[in-house]
Chain A
Amino acid sequence: MSISAMNRRWLVRTALIFLLVSAACIAATNIYALFGHGVRSASMDTMFLYPLLMGAAPWLLLAALFPMMGRRRLFRPAFNLYNSGIAALTTGAMLNGILEIAGTASAYQPLFMAAGWIFVFIGFILFLIPDSGGRTDRKAKNP
């Protein structure tokens, strides 16, 4: 199997995991609504969009268009930070939904969203930094 095919497969697998997370978010939202007297929160209703639009969609696009990007030296830290941002945003949205439905608030909830966007931003910047002199991460079989 070529390196390009390995990278593509790995990226597609990551996208599928995000799709599963997205589906789990939809299920969790609806189960929570069942026990909440029908009370819903827009924040919780839309939390599935973070893993879907910011997770699954970009990784599928990357797998289709730039599978060799995963060979970059800073790809792994960028990948970790970016995905961590999506996790923080999704968790923050769920937390916000729980608090909204209960009719209360927390000073700590916005920190999840702030941390999420910062991670996403830093991760995105790291993706854009090219390897100096065309160096790639030779040790990694996959990113």
Chain B
Amino acid sequence: MNRVISFFKKPCRWAAMYGVILALAFTLVLLDVFVIPKAQVRVEPPATPVYPESSEHDDSAGYIVPDAATNTAEKEEDKDEAAEENLPANPVITDTSYVDKNISISIDTVRNNATTLYVADIQISNVSYLKTALAKNVFGRNIKQTTSAMAEERQAIFAVNGDYYGFRDTGYVLRNGVNYRDSGKDNALVIDSGGNLSIAHEGAVSMETLVAGGAWQIFSFGPVLVLDGEITVDDSSEVGRAKRGNPRTAIGQAGELHYIVIVSDGRTKESQGLSLLELAEEFAERGCSVAYNLDGGGSSTMVFNGRIVNNPTDGRREGEREVSDIVYIGYE
């Protein structure tokens, strides 16, 4: 013991050793949080897509519920047929709209509060066309892809970034009926098997209860912008420690299978960005009963027919940020 004490009595020996250890620990924590990918669950897509029951589903659009009695070869045939049948007949597509018998999307560019907003009005015939996807089909921390790359892989007609669940260790994550994470303490957005949006407090309602009640997708970011048609944020509301004007992404419900998705530019000379109150007002004006803020800032990206609609930027450089997940409309 005395020898150890004597060794460290020499000037700078302790300081040098401790400084190196502290710097290493600091660097490792930052790498762990921001860089090192940690895959936890690989998403295994079913042989044929299976979606929650809905009476309004148009079978001609082509989703097949697998029959347990059919053999593998038959399933493969079904899969091929389904892929062909999935393609809608004669969609009408323009730069700002898409219409087929199941999906109708129109995108308006609006200028409000010194900010450019991209407002997507979406009507679908079945909740199965409102989908989510995880980057690289893997659930985990720091598993990332750009919104446009994920949209392209899934041939999405329309896509926006999700809640970037992989940047946090808590918050409910339920995607396509699969529970990936059931810890959290904030208000989460629930999309049920009927396509209806609602809000659940993670501390008050368990994941099991929500799933038993028909939850199909759950996002955890927030805050809630509109609930029961009333704006629920005020001028002082903000995400964590973000400043007021930001690029934003949010989703709201205006009717049965009728959704409003808004992405705003921000942090640029052309667009200062929206406060949460300003964003909530946009949803309330459009008659949304529920609206919920998703991840924003540099993550905010809207993709339509393979083209990035907004001007994604984190304020330092232009371009898309890689994120954990997307919400999209499509057939794949």
List chain A positions with a Cβ less than 8 A from chain B: 35, 37-41, 76-77, 80, 83-84, 87-88, 91, 94-95, 98-109, 112, 140
A37 engages B15 (CB within 8 Å): no
Complex-state Cα separation, A41 to B8, whole angstroms: 36
CB contacts under 8 Å to A, within B109-146, are none
Instruction: Please indicate the chain B residues that have their CB under 8 angstroms from the CB of A109 in the complex.
Output: 29
Number of residues from B at the complex interface, CB < 8 A: 28
Instruction: Please indicate the chain B residues that have their CB under 8 angstroms from the CB of A99 in the complex.
Output: 33
Instruction: Please indicate the chain A residues that have their CB under 8 angstroms from the CB of B167 in the complex.
Output: 102-104
Instruction: Please indicate the chain B residues that have their CB under 8 angstroms from the CB of A38 in the complex.
Output: 243
Among B9, B19, B169, B243, contact of A37 (Cβ-Cβ < 8 Å): B243
B242 at the interface (CB under 8 A from A): yes
A80 engages B26 (CB within 8 Å): no
> What are 16 A-B pairs at a CB distance below 8 A?
A38-B243, A39-B242, A77-B9, A80-B14, A87-B22, A91-B22, A91-B25, A95-B26, A95-B30, A102-B34, A102-B167, A103-B168, A103-B241, A105-B168, A105-B169, A106-B33
List chain B positions with a Cβ less than 8 A from chain A: 5, 8-9, 14-15, 18-19, 22, 25-26, 28-30, 32-34, 167-169, 239-243, 246, 267, 315-316
B240 engages A100 (CB within 8 Å): yes
A35 engages B243 (CB within 8 Å): no
Q: How distant is A99 from chain B, measured CB to nearest CB, in Å? A: 6
Complex-state Cα separation, A91 to B8, whole angstroms: 22
B243 engages A39 (CB within 8 Å): yes
Given contacts A84-B18, A104-B168, contact A76 B9 (CB under 8 A): yes
Complex-state Cα separation, A38 to B29, whole angstroms: 24
Among B14, B15, B28, B33, contact of A104 (Cβ-Cβ < 8 Å): B33
